[in-house]
Structure 1
C-alpha cells in the first residue's frame, strides 16, 4: 500500500489525479530549497566537522566546531539538518541520552571541503547568484531568441567568460568548480578508457585550461608527449608539468598536430556552427589513417532512465541560460556533427561519470 492511499478515501479518480498533480507542482516549486540547504552545510563545513571526529556528532557538538560563528543558532541548523537527513545527505541516529547524532553518508562524502575528490566547489558555483540568476531570463530568450544576447548577458550585461574577468569572487568559484570536476572526471576517464591511451605517442588537450586534466593522463601514461592548448592568457598562468608543453592559440583558427586530440567538456559550450569549425581543425591536426579525436562530453538520452539522465537534462538547462548555442547533445546530434566534419565513424564508451568518452575517427 502506498503512503498516500488513505488520503484518497472517498475521492473519485479525477479528484485523486488532480490532487497528485497539485502535489507534483508544489514539489517542483520548492525543490530549490534542497540545493540551498546543501549549500549552507557546505559553507558551514558540517561534513568536514563530522569527518574530523570520525563519528556521528550531536547538534551541539557540530555547532561548537563551526568556524567564525560568534553566536551560532542551533535551532536554525537543526531545521537545515532535518532537510539533509530526509535527502540522505546525512544520517541520523539516537544516542543513549536521546540526542540525535548526525553522521556521514555516501553522499555527504562528496561535499567534504578538505579532500581532493569533492564536488563542493562545483555546488557553490552552481548556487552563486551570478551563475544562477540568468535562469530567470530563459522565457525571454525563448520569445526573442539570442540575437540580442544570451540569458546570461541579459541578466549581467556581459557573457559568462567575460564575467569571470570582472568579478574576482565569481572567477575563483568558477576555477575551483572546474578543477574539482576535472579531477572527478579525469579519474573516471583513465579508469574507463582502459587501453585507449596506450597507442598514443602525442596528445593535444584542446581547451585544457592550466593543464590539470592532462597532467592526470600523463601521470598514468608517461610515454605520451602532451600539449596543453588554450588561449594565450590562460596557458600563461599554467604550472610546469613533466611531459607537458603549454601552447597558446585559438582552436577556431588551428590546433597543434598530434596522434590524437582530447577535449573534455568543450564542445557542449558551443553551437553546432562553432563545433563544426573546431572539429574540422581537429581533423586537420591528426593523421588520416591512425588519428582520433577523444571527446569527453555527455550523451543526452532524454527518454532514458540511467544514473545521470536527469543530471544531463539539468545541465542542458544551465547551458541554455549561459551559452549561445551551447547544449548537451544526443547521439543523433553527435552523429550529425561527425558527418559534417568528415569523421567516418565514432564510438561511445560509457564511464562511471556524467560524461561519456566519444571517439571519432577519420576513416
Structure 2
C-alpha cells in the first residue's frame, strides 16, 4: 500500500472512531432500557431463548408496546453481545437468549450490576459529566455545579436519590465482597472486630461476618445512611463522621471509600484509622482500584473510566497508581503496605502502622 493510500485509510479510520465515540452513549442507553424493561429477567424466567412477542408480553405495565422499537434496540444489544440471537428456522422468528454479559443484569440475582447501572445512568448522575469542560476552565466540583450541593449533602436531603445511591453501592458490595471473602480468608483469621468505615447499609460487613462468624462487625457511616440499614446478625450499625473520629476495632475495612476523596482528606481519614486500631497488631484493609494507566488487564480500561467518574461525582476524589497510594499511606501513618490483586475491578491494599 502506498503512502497516500495508507494516509487515506488512517484518516478514514480516524473519522470512523470519532463517529463511534460520538454515539457511544447509545450502547449505554440501550443497556439501560433493557434493564428498565426487565428483559434479562423475562428471558431468564422462560429458561430458554424467546421471541420478541414473548418478551413484550412479559414487560411490566406495557399497555401499548411498540415491538418495532424493541427489535431495533435488541439488534444493537445483540451486536454488542449483551444478548444472543437464535434463528429457529429459515424465515422463522428470531429468538433472544442471555449471554455471560446479560446475566449480570438480572434483578433477582445476588450477583447483579443492574442497580449500579440504573444509578450511574440516571440523569441525576449523568448531568455532572456535562460540566467537565467548566471544571477544567475554572475548577470546582462537577456534581456541585450540576445540583448546587455535594453528592453526600444531596443524598441527605433527597430520600429517592439516597435509595438509588445505596442500592447501587449495595449491589457492587455483593460482587466485590464475594471475591474478597474468598481471596482474603487468611487475612481475617486473627481479626476479632472489624470496622467498616463508610460501609453504607452494611452489605459488605455482613458478608464478612457471615463467612467469618468469629468477627464482630461494625458498620460505620453517616447517620442518615445507617438509619436505613437493615439488621444483620453479628453487625452493629454506628452513625458518625470518619473525619471526626472512628470507633475502635482490631482492624478497619474501607471498600471504595478512599477514591472518593483528595489526598489531604485521605490522610485525615487514615490518621483517624490509626488512632482506632491497636498500634502493634492493627491494620487497615482497603479495597480500591490500583490504576495501571498503560495496563492491558481485563479491568484496566474500567479503572481509567472510574477515575473520570470521581471527577463527575465526588469531592476531589480520584483513582490512584501504586506510587500515589504509597504517598497517601505514608503520610497517614502507614509506612508498610501490601497490594493483593484479586479477580475483580479493585485490589486489596493491606496497610500497617509499623
Q: When the two structures are superposed, what TM-score results if normalisation uses the length of structure 1?
A: 0.94
Counterparts of residues 31-70 of structure 1 (less than 5 Å): 31-70=24-63
- 1:134 alignment partner, one of 128, 151, 158: 128
Q: Distance in 1 between matches of 2:157 and 2:275?
A: 35
CA shift, 1:10, in A, is 10
Match of 2:205, SS?
Answer: helix
Q: Distance in 2 between matches of 1:153 and 1:325?
A: 11
Match of 1:300, SS?
Answer: coil
What corresponds to 2:215 in structure 1?
224
1:30 aligns with 2:23: yes
**Cα gap change, 1:217 to 1:99, in 2 (>3 Å):** same
Counterparts of residues 125-274 of structure 1 (less than 5 Å): 125-146=119-140, 150-274=141-265
What corresponds to 2:107 in structure 1?
113
Indicate the RMSD between aligned Cα atoms, in angstroms: 1.6
What corresponds to 2:352 in structure 1?
361
What corresponds to 1:352 in structure 2?
343
Q: Distance in 1 between matches of 2:211 and 2:8?
A: 60
Q: Distance in 2 between matches of 1:291 and 1:128?
A: 40
Q: How many aligned residue pairs are there?
A: 353
Structure 2 gaps of 5+ residues are: none
What corresponds to 2:94 in structure 1?
100
Match of 2:350, SS?
Answer: strand
Deviations 1:9-55 (A, max 9, x none): 99622111111111111111111100000000111111111100000
Q: When the two structures are superposed, what TM-score results if normalisation uses the length of structure 2?
A: 0.96
Deviations 1:103-144 (A, max 9, x none): 000001000112221101110111101100111111111111
CA shift, 1:63, in A, is 1.3
Which deviates further from its counterpart, 79-88 or 199-208? 199-208
CA shift, 1:82, in A, is 0.4
CA contact (8 A) 2:166 2:201 kept: no
Q: Distance in 1 between matches of 2:217 and 2:57?
A: 49
Deviations 1:257-283 (A, max 9, x none): 221110111111111110000001111
CA shift, 1:325, in A, is 1.2
Counterparts of residues 309-320 of structure 1 (less than 5 Å): 309-320=300-311
